[in-house]
Amino acid sequence: MPDVSQHVEDLTPRQIVEELDKYIIGQTKAKKNVAIALRNRWRRQNAPEEMRDEIMPNNIIMIGPTGVGKTEIARRLARLARAPFIKVEASKFTEVGYVGRDVDSMIRDLTDIAVNMVEAEHKEEVQERARERAEERILDILIPPEEDGQSRGGDGAQDNSGFVVRSPDESKGEPDSSTLRQRTRQKFRDKLERGDLDDREIEIEVQTDSQSMMQMFGPMGMEEMGVNLEELFGNLGGGQRKKRRVTVEEARELLTQEEAEKLIDQDQVKDDALDRVQQAGIVFVDEIDKVATGTRRRDEGSGQGVSRQGVQRDLLPIVEGSTVTTKHGMVETDHILFIASGAFHAAKPSDLIPELQGRFPIRVELNNLDEDDFYEILTKPKNALVKQYRALFASEDVEIEFERDGVSELARIAADVNADVENIGARRLHTVLTTLLEDLLFDVPEEISPGTHVTIDAEMVRDRLSSIASSRDLSQYIL
């Protein structure tokens, strides 16, 4: 069984923070805590065997308003660790009560994500072999085997490619049909590798997706029994195949994926995925404050308070460590990392039930974002919005340049609107920038032709946005 922590063993907590800094501005304390939590997983894997099961994960509660980077920190951490990650909203469990999906569903969904992740990795490992086998299948279509219809009589026979294979002439010392066919096959293999045949149409047989329509038939609650209804009913199709007429290029992709499916061991995929979930899974529980029962919430009515406490008590065994039945196997949640978050305006972390509080020993408060933070968010991260829009315009061969004062003005307007209307953090930047560039994006390429250079400066930003930003009513609806 592979060591799930081996891909982060070379990253120290400081280096993990440096990687997160490439995408997230500020919030150093939160980054530091999640970096320690991630590194501790590798440390646990390398601790003495008798102590490994005793070392619990550093579950974290992030406290801060929306749009300050809570979810992004957790998501980037999971991507860095190549770990299964799922985001759930604690408040959703109050909406369905105890009849529909329960809290165990987050672990089942996380396991599905892990299976898909590991399956993709296994397929990547066999891509070269799968591609070779797919090309051989295409060659079999272009040059059918002799026993499948190649005539031995007459002056020759025509294969599916339109190539005429001549019968051997012993008196002239010509090669026999087998040698000739091998030469022909090699010629077509060379053409296939060069892409000369990509546009040619051929007829292939592919597996039908008989399971795609079966999900709707699953009765509520059956997933808890570990019954894979998709497999149960999908097998009734008997692995049916259908013929499709596609280009060689499309056939290569379709057949490569089909061959990759055959080459990987699905049992091994499930085993690796279950191990990945148990040792490296990350569950991000958002809006945890919505199920806290603060003083103000207790006054709303005993029914709601009981409902919220019920959700907390349902969450508790999952966070503490329990075994959840999934269609892929049993999953132990003892070492899954749980990161909870919430604004905690009307409640406090101490309003959570004591047992749940104890399972989130690390608490970190994220800072509100100001104008300076917005400027850095617009320019510094690898995926900064300014860089994203440059790439969008570059696809139309239009160069867009953001002047420093233009970016500063964007940051100022976003900060002002957040202060006047509602503070949604960095998400405001996307709204402001989209409104600013709306006309330009619409005019390309008719009005703004390829090769044009567009400059975004402070004057342009003020001209397009100031009237909206200065009106509270307008900014409330537009920005």
- Model confidence pLDDT, tens digit, residues 448-467: 999 999 999 999 999 988 88
Give the pLDDT confidence of 74-128 residue by residue, as tens digits: 999 999 988 999 999 988 876 554 444 588 999 999 999 999 999 999 999 999 9
User: Hey, where are the domains in the chain?
Assistant: 6-121+275-365, 127-150+157-263, 371-466
pLDDT at 273 over 50: yes
pLDDT of residue 232: 54
239-148-170 Cα angle (round to 5):
155
| Higher per-residue confidence, 249 vs 399 | 399
Least confident of 161-165, 450-454, 467-471: 161-165
What does the pLDDT read at residue 246? 83
Distance CA 75, CA 83 (A): 10
For the chain, percent of residues with pLDDT exceeding 90: 47
For 6-121+275-365, CATH number out of 3.40.50.1370, 3.20.20.20, 1.10.3720.10, 3.40.50.300 equals 3.40.50.300
Q: Which one has a higher pLDDT value, 207 or 175?
A: 207
Q: Which of 412, 338, 379 is nearest to 23 (CA)?
A: 379
Pick the closest to residue 335 from 57, 60, 110, 43 (CA basis). Answer: 57
Neighbours of 281 (CB within 10 A): 28
Q: How confident is the model at residue 235 (pLDDT cuts 50, 70, 90)?
A: low
- 155 by Cβ neighbours in 10 Å (0-12 / 13-18 / 19+) ranks as exposed
Encode pLDDT of 178-200 as tens digits.
788 788 888 888 888 888 888 88
Q: Which residues of 295-313 are buried (b: 16+ CB within 10 A; e: fewer)?
A: eebeeeeeeeeebbbebbe
Write the DSSP symbol of residue 465: H
Task: Mean pLDDT check: name the lowest of 128-142, 261-275, 295-309.
Answer: 295-309
Q: Does residue 48 surpass a pLDDT of 70? A: yes
Pairing of strands 85-89, 282-286: parallel
- Is the pLDDT reported for residue 64 higher than 50? yes
Q: Look at residue 394 and tell me whether its pLDDT is greater than 50.
A: yes
Q: What is the pLDDT of residue 231?
A: 55
Is it the case that residue 220 has pLDDT exceeding 50? no
The predicted structure's pLDDT at residue 142: 82
Mean pLDDT throughout 159-178?
A: 54
Q: Look-up: residue for tokens 């089942």?
A: 108
* Residue bearing the bigger pLDDT, 384 or 222: 384
Question: Taking the CB of residue 118, how many other CB atoms lie within 10 A of it?
Answer: 23
> What is the pTM assigned to this prediction?
0.80
Find the distance separating the first CA and the last CA of the chain, reported in whole Å: 51
The predicted-structure confidence for 2-44, as pLDDT tens digits, reads as follows 444 445 667 899 999 999 999 999 999 999 999 999 999 889 8
- pLDDT of 158 > 70? The answer is no
- Residue 459 has what pLDDT? 93
pLDDT value at position 304?
55
Q: Which listed CATH number (3.90.1150.10, 3.90.700.10, 1.10.8.60, 2.60.120.10) goes with 371-466?
A: 1.10.8.60
Over the Cα atoms of the chain, what is R_g?
A: 30
Q: Is the pLDDT of residue 298 over 50?
A: no
Is pLDDT larger for residue 276 or for residue 233? Answer: 276
According to the model, what pLDDT value does residue 265 have?
A: 92
Res 23: pLDDT: 93
Rounded mean pLDDT, 57-75: 92
User: Phi and psi at residue 247, in whole multiples of 5°?
Assistant: -75, 160
With a cut of 60, say whether residue 169 has pLDDT above it.
no
- Helix 458-470 / helix 404-420 crossing angle, nearest 10 deg: 10
Per-residue confidence (pLDDT) for residue 134, from 0 to 100: 87
What is the arithmetic mean of pLDDT over 239-252? Answer: 82
3-state helix, strand, coil in the chain (%, to 5): 55, 15, 30
Q: Is the pLDDT of residue 429 over 50?
A: yes
pLDDT tier at 236, thresholds 50, 70, 90: low
Do 371-466 and 6-121+275-365 have the same topology in CATH? Answer: no
By the 8 A CB rule, do 423 and 415 touch? Answer: no
Say if residues 331 and 111 touch (Cβ distance below 8 Å): yes
Average pLDDT of every residue of the chain = 82
pLDDT for the residue 462:
92
User: Regarding predicted confidence, which is higher, 348 or 151?
Assistant: 348
Give percent of the chain above pLDDT 70.
80
Q: How far apart are CA 146 and CA 465, in angstroms?
A: 73
pLDDT at 11: 85
